Structure 1
């Protein structure tokens, strides 16, 4: 799987894995799309592979990418793995 694709928001605490980096769902928040349909934003927490600082990233129910680093490292860094822009598989871990 190279993207996140949920029909409804997963439960808080759900995790996904991208390479060796784990993202944990911290919260969701309501969101109104441009077409007026109500949806949810997913708020994920992970640790920066460069400095180890915890950071959050927001995604929709469907996304093809996730930030891999905290903002300070993201502004001055190269890719955390040698993927050279290729889509990396995302593994969804089922809790319970």
Structure 2
């Protein structure tokens, strides 16, 4: 399953021209010194949003905070399996996540 999810993640990132996927063992995207999406070892996808947007999307997606390697990733929303078929919509959410980290003070 992980290999299929990695291919899916790459397809989503490929739809976004302003950034690229990084990481060999832990695929992620980052900008402005902040990670804003990642694929964990279980093949789960998490996107980072502001606290307000995060709360909204957790309700809207019927989801939860994202966990990676046993740690809850503050600010990240778990993208539910049911959403993984709409790559265009996921690319919109990923671009929204990128826009969010670009508003943060650079690291």
Greater strand fraction, Structure 1 or Structure 2: 1
- Same fold, judged at TM 0.5 (above): no
TM-score for both structures, normalised by structure 2: 0.27
Rg bigger for which structure? 1
Structure with the bigger percentage of helix = 2
Which structure has more relative contact order (CA 8 Å, sep 6+)? It is 1
TM-score (norm 1): 0.30
